[in-house]
Structures are given as C-alpha cells and as structure tokens.
Structure 1
Amino acid sequence: MKKNTTPHQSQAFIPAGIDEPILLESNSSSKVETMHLNYPENAKIGYAIVGLGHLTLNQILPAMKECKKSKISALVSGSLEKLRKTGEMYDIPESAQYLYEEFEQISENKNIDAVFIVLPNSKHKEFTLRSAIAKKHVLCEKPMAINSQECQEMIDACKAAAVKLMIAYRIQYEPYNHYVRQEIEEHSIGTVKFIQTHNGQPSHQPEHWRYIKDLAGGGALFDIGIYCLNTMRFLLDSEPLEVYAHQYSNPLDPSFQEIEEMVNWQMKFPDDIIVQCSTSYQIHTSRKYEIYGDGGWMILDDAYSYEGQKLIISKPEENLLKKEIKISPVNQFTQEIDYFSECILNDTEPYTSGEVGLQDLMIMEAIYESAQTNEPISLSHRLPKSIKRGNKPEIKLQEK
C-alpha cells in the first residue's frame, strides 16, 4: 500500500486535454503521444523514470516506444499532477507512480529492474544511492554528479549493492560518431594531429536550476561542454595528459552570477594530439568538431545534437577532395537504453560506466583549476591508469 503524502508544488503547466503536452520550460512545445507497448514483456527490462522534466517528456519517454529490450514500468516525480497526467498518457497505473518521498517503495515493485535518473545534477548522487538500497540498476544522466567525490560514492554504493551503474553518454551510441572513431582507428585520414570542437547555445533562463551552482555544479562546461570532453575521449580512445583553460562570465549579466558563461580549454593527448575545446551559453547554437590528420580531415556538424548530423570527409591523396558521408540515423536514447538493458540481461559491465563518468568530473575539476590559476594542469598523477568499463557497443553503420 502506497503511503498518503502531500504532493510538492509543480512548476509545470498541466493542460486539461490528455493529448496536449506538459510544459516544464517556456520553450517546451513538443507533443507527447499516448503510447501502448505491445512487445513481449518477458525479454524487457522495466525502468522507473525518475524526473518528468523537459528531457524526459520530449525525448526519453517517446524514445521508449522504439525500445526492443526496455519498457516503462514506473514514473517518479515531485508533482502528483504530473505523475497522473504522464501516467495516463503512457498507461502507467497509479500504483506505479511515486512521489520523490515515496521512492523507497520501488523496492517492492518487481516490475522495476532499473531506474533512469533524469534530475538536476545535485540529485544524481542521492537517487543513485537510494536506488542501490532498493537493489535497482542505475542509468544516470550526465554529468554524473556535481563533484568527483560524489561520483566515487555512487560507484561504491552500486558495487556494494551488486547493481550496475551506467552514465547516459548518448553520443557514444550514435552511428556518425562511431563512424568517425572507426576512421581514426583505421588511420583513414592519416595520423590525427589536431582537433577543434565547440558546443554552444543561447540560454537566458536565470531562474532555471542550471543557473544555480548548488544544483548544477557548474555552468556551460558542466551542461554542454562535457559533450566535447567526453566525445574526444571516446573518439581517440585515450585520456588527456594535460589541460589548460580560460573561462569568462559577463559581470553585467544576472544569469551568470553563480555559474560560468563560457570556457575555452586545450587538452594534450598521447601521440602529441592537441584538442581545442570551447563551450558557451551566449552564442548561436553550434555543435561541431573538426579532426585534422596528415592525410585528410573530417568535419561533423551537429555532432552533439539529437539528430541532423552531417559528416564531410576529405582525403586529397585519394583524390577525394570533399565528400559527404550519409549514415542511416537512429534514436540515440533508444540505443543507449536498450544497450543498458542488454548489460543487465547478459550481466555485463556497461561501456559508459560510472568510472567513465568519474573521469569526466576529475578532468572538469582540473579545467576549472587551470582557469582559476591560469596555469596548465598535468593529469598524469590525477587520473587512474585504467578505467573499468565493458565492451564498446556495436552500432550498425549503414551508409545511405
């Protein structure tokens, strides 16, 4: 029997019509469809989706209808109204709808195998630890936590509870980025010498949790710059040896009183590869990387977007001056969720493990330190020599 609790106040707009979208943020306008899952249930991992914000409503829940090894078994929110409304849309019974203070009751629900934590960054540790106590596997949005100490606590808690922990780095389940990594591994453009990448967008929501340091952990770097960092680690299949950074916030903009507006940083990788990164909350939306080798180059536009990637490659020595590579797209969220389900079903370690998330936090802490001291920071004695992770996901690369 679920306990009677007083619901938290909701910041979302809850429409009267069942076919209207729930609006969490002012720019949230996508429609959430009613979904009926008709797949065989015995081969699917049941998820409790924790947090009914913009990302959950507009990306994660709709993506679940494409999953073949995963299903929605429960919803968790701070708002009873949002639970009832979303539950009605996705056919989730009230008995599987939990307020945050009722979360421990998920341990009694045998239909829940795992949780997907989609909350403000400061809540990731809390709900990971609570999930581990409930003996549920954890898929957690990035960044893993607000500091490396919290990451380690999350890893230790999941290990002690014998549950799996995976960080939702969706780019590593996207085919264009896998294609680029394969090209690098095969030296298709020769030896990689230099990479430049940026991820930026205009953002003016000073009351949003992302602008409150205690909730977000950091600004543009934590929110969108982490894509540049983690993707470069993935593409090069190695770890940076040194970082050197600069950060800036407009002192007259009230949005950036607690968090940074922009960060530029350079990373030195093994084999003398230099990677130049930048992230900003105050530029027109641009998500891109350029990889230059001694035998050609590759440029991926919309590299960090949910869709719309465009890859251009040049190999002058092969008389290929410029060619667009077209690959059949996939839903990144569906790919990563089903991959984690496979890890649970097969009892294997996730590729984007908790240790991978911890490494990002340790590097970002060094980036902030470098920006503060205006000195390069060596990582050789800060990062572990090896990272515990599973096999790389197999992503089908079907050129159009």
Structure 2
Amino acid sequence: MTSRRNFLQKLTLSAVSLPLIPNFTQNSQASMNHNTKKASTLRVAIMGLGSYATRVAKAMLDSKNAKLVGLISGTPSKIKDWQATYNIPDKNCYNYENFDAIKDNPDIDAVYIITPNALHHPQTLRVAAAGKHVICEKPMAINAKEGREMVEACNKAGVKLLVGYRMHFEPNTLEIIRLREDGAFGEIKFFQGLSGFRIGDPTQWRLNKELAGGGAMMDIGIYSINGARYMVGEEPEWVTAQETKTDPVKFKEGVDETITFQFGFPSGVISSCLSTYSTSHLDKFFLNGTKGFAEMQPSTGYGPIKAWTNKGPLNFPHVTHQTVQMDRMAGIILDGETAKIPVDGREGLKDLIIIDAIYKAVDTGKKVKIDLT
C-alpha cells in the first residue's frame, strides 16, 4: 500500500507540472497525426498489469481490429511475464516514471489505463501530452473536477478519450434499448438497479479512499448509475441517497459500504438503486413501463448476461465483452465510428457529476439537483 501511495504522489506531481495545452515536439505531433489516420488495427499499450488488465489482454487475442503492443507497469517482473506471454518487444515497455517517452514511439496508438481510480487523472494528462489516445477504465476519475480536466486535456491535445463501458456494446443491453425506443414497453415508469458483492481483502486499494476515491459507489455502484441512464433513455434531474455502514473498521471514513439512491427523470420516471460491498449476487436491472417490462440478471457481469421481457427470453449468444469493446473502440478511434450508447470522456464525466451529487445527498440528507451541462 505504501508503494501505491508513492506512485500516486509521484504521478500527481508530474501531472501538476504539465500544462493543459501540451507543447508538442515535432515527433509527438507526428505521432498524434499518425494515430488519427485511418488504419486497420488499433495498437494498444496497457497501463497497469493487474487482474482486469489480464482479462482485457486475453480478450484482445481474439480482436480483429485491436492488438496489444505495449506495456506500462511499476513491477518489472510483471512486464517480463507479459512480454513472454504476448510477445511484446523491450522497446514498447515502460514504467510509471518514463512512460512519457511513448510520444516518440510510433508503434503505439493508444494507452488503456487500468490502474487505481485516483491515478486515472494524472496518467491521462500525461498520455494526452504524449499525443496518444486514451482508453480509461471507469470511473474515469474520482470526481467531476478531475474528469473535466481530463476531457479538456484530451480535446486540446487532439486525442480521443474513451471510457471502458463494455456494457455499451453488449447485445442484450442494446436489444432492450431498441425495444424501449420502439415503444414495446409503453411509457417507462420505473427502473431498478442492484449492484453489489462482498468485498474481501481489507488491505486492497479499493478500500483505500486515497486510491479509490470512495468505496462501493466508485467500483460497482457506477454500473447502476450508468445503467439507469441508458435503460431509461433520459438523464436524471435529482437524486436522494442514504448510506448504511455495518463495519466501520473495514469501511473507514470516506469509504462507503452500502448506499441506496433514487433518481428523478424529466418525464416522471423514478429509479431505485443499490450499491454495496456487503451483499453478494446483486447484479440486476429491471425496467418497467405501461405495456411491459425488461429484466436482466446478471445485468453487468462478465457474462453470460441473462435477459428477458414480458414477451419471453432474449437469446443472444455470449460474446466476450472486452473483445467486442476493443474492436468497436478501434473503429471509434481510427475510423470515426460512433457508439449507440456513448463511451467518450463526456459520458464518463456525466457519471462523475452524478456520483458527486450522490455523495452530497448522503452528506446533507437532502434532494440534490443534478446539472450535467
């Protein structure tokens, strides 16, 4: 944990020294222009070689349009192991102190940041300054202020910022949205999102406010926040929220164990959601309208996703979410394609604004207005 803190301090100091408008060298400008050129394959370096990065890397082996070509890690032994597994050359491997040098590496188009939440902001600023596209795991940052700075930095650098919303490409999810838009469920009235599991090791970074930015809400609750928005098809106007903490030793100050929260939408739709680190097997979405309903359980896990409506089950074959995600993101970055449900930095920022509002509602006990403009 101490080493994580040291990394955070170093990276934060590095980010502070960077201007939001990068001064590009000729090499970095050339690299940026190369990255935005149409190409058949998105060449990706993964930053942070933990368990989820492993899942992404394995999924990319089956990608048609994305390829793992580089590694960034603070652990030399991990880099050596990954090099052997994925045939990554030494020249494409970096640590957290020297990865700014990717600006001079034409073999890398984008960096996928899969590190603790608090590191996303400084690392994104540095990757953008190097002229490389950014794919960042969710939550995009630990608050909306950081999220805005990330969006601004990538815009000014002329690179794209995408967020790892794998469910935005999942076929059952997209089919329910299509049915809702076609009026199959009538006038939408209610949404329920349940997101939770029992967290284990009390020393892990997810239970460290400095690195996680919070607790369950930042890790699993964001699925119900984002899901409420794309399932209802509107943006929430207000939120109320209540926190429950049964283990203040494991869940210290600023690390939420369980939060229930309620949204109000412009059309009158209401939602009731739960985010928790203390109850397992909570992964359910329920959308109800005047003519029918849709239900998913599991709704956001790695799959297979199970979904049905009042007319019967949906039977889409399971596909590895991260494989589809990376292929689609390659199209977005290289060919200007768009996603049915956005996955850009602005989408990530909206979730951060809502998370800030939820924590404010918990702290004040009042209904909090949500302004996504």
Residue segments in structure 1 that go unaligned for 5+ positions in a row: 1-7, 10-41, 315-319, 385-400
Does the 8 A contact of 2:234 with 2:266 survive in 1? yes
| 1:324 counterpart = 2:313 | yes
* Structure-1 separation of matches of 2:250 and 2:232: 38
1:106-117 mapped onto 2 (5 Å cutoff): 106-117=102-113
Alignment partner, residue 368 of structure 1: 359
* Structure-1 separation of matches of 2:251 and 2:365: 24
Alignment partner, residue 131 of structure 2: 135
* Structure-1 separation of matches of 2:315 and 2:336: 34
* Alpha-carbon offset, residue 187 of structure 1: 1.4
| 1:55 counterpart = 2:31 | no
* Structure-2 separation of matches of 1:98 and 1:196: 43
Alignment partner, residue 222 of structure 1: 218
Does the 8 A contact of 2:188 with 2:232 survive in 1? no
* Alpha-carbon offset, residue 174 of structure 1: 0.7
Q: Which among 346, 349, 354 is matched to residue 355 of structure 1?
A: 346
Runs of 4+ aligned residues of structure 1 deviating over 6 Å after TM superposition are none
* Alpha-carbon offset, residue 100 of structure 1: 1.1
Alignment partner, residue 372 of structure 2: 383
One-letter code of the match for 1:50?
M
* Alpha-carbon offset, residue 349 of structure 1: 6.3
TM-score normalised to the size of structure 2?
0.87
Secondary structure of the corresponding residue to residue 43 of structure 2: strand
Secondary structure of the corresponding residue to residue 243 of structure 1: strand
Does the 8 A contact of 2:193 with 2:227 survive in 1? no
Alignment partner, residue 42 of structure 2: 45
One-letter code of the match for 2:179?
E
Alignment partner, residue 327 of structure 2: 338
| 1:299 counterpart = 2:295 | yes
* Structure-1 separation of matches of 2:157 and 2:118: 22
Task: Note the aligned Cα RMSD (angstroms).
Answer: 1.7
Secondary structure of the corresponding residue to residue 341 of structure 1: helix
Going by fraction, where is helix more abundant, 1 or 2? 2
Partner deviation per Cα, 1:304-336 (whole Å, 9 max, x = no partner):
10112111211xxxxx5xx22211222211122
Give the aligned length.
336
One-letter code of the match for 1:194?
F
Residue segments in structure 2 that go unaligned for 5+ positions in a row: 5-38
Does the 8 A contact of 2:258 with 2:276 survive in 1? yes
Alignment partner, residue 268 of structure 1: 264
Q: 1:299 to 1:378 in 2, by over 3 A?
A: same
Secondary structure of the corresponding residue to residue 272 of structure 1: coil
* Alpha-carbon offset, residue 51 of structure 1: 0.5
* Alpha-carbon offset, residue 192 of structure 1: 1.2
* Structure-1 separation of matches of 2:328 and 2:173: 16
Alignment partner, residue 198 of structure 2: 202
Q: Which among 179, 182, 185 is matched to residue 183 of structure 1?
A: 179
Does the 8 A contact of 1:50 with 1:118 survive in 2? yes
One-letter code of the match for 2:119?
K
Partner deviation per Cα, 1:181-222 (whole Å, 9 max, x = no partner):
111111112111111110110112211111111110111111
Partner deviation per Cα, 1:54-104 (whole Å, 9 max, x = no partner):
1011x1000101111111110010011100111111111122111111101
* Structure-2 separation of matches of 1:377 and 1:257: 22
Does the 8 A contact of 1:167 with 1:352 survive in 2? yes
Alignment partner, residue 69 of structure 2: 73
One-letter code of the match for 2:323?
T
Does the 8 A contact of 1:227 with 1:304 survive in 2? yes
Partner deviation per Cα, 1:131-162 (whole Å, 9 max, x = no partner):
11110000100001011111111111111110
* Structure-2 separation of matches of 1:340 and 1:292: 31
TM-score normalised to the size of structure 1?
0.81
One-letter code of the match for 2:367?
P
1:274-313 mapped onto 2 (5 Å cutoff): 274-313=270-309
* Alpha-carbon offset, residue 366 of structure 1: 0.6
- Percent sequence identity over matched residues? 34
* Structure-2 separation of matches of 1:237 and 1:94: 46
* Structure-2 separation of matches of 1:78 and 1:300: 38
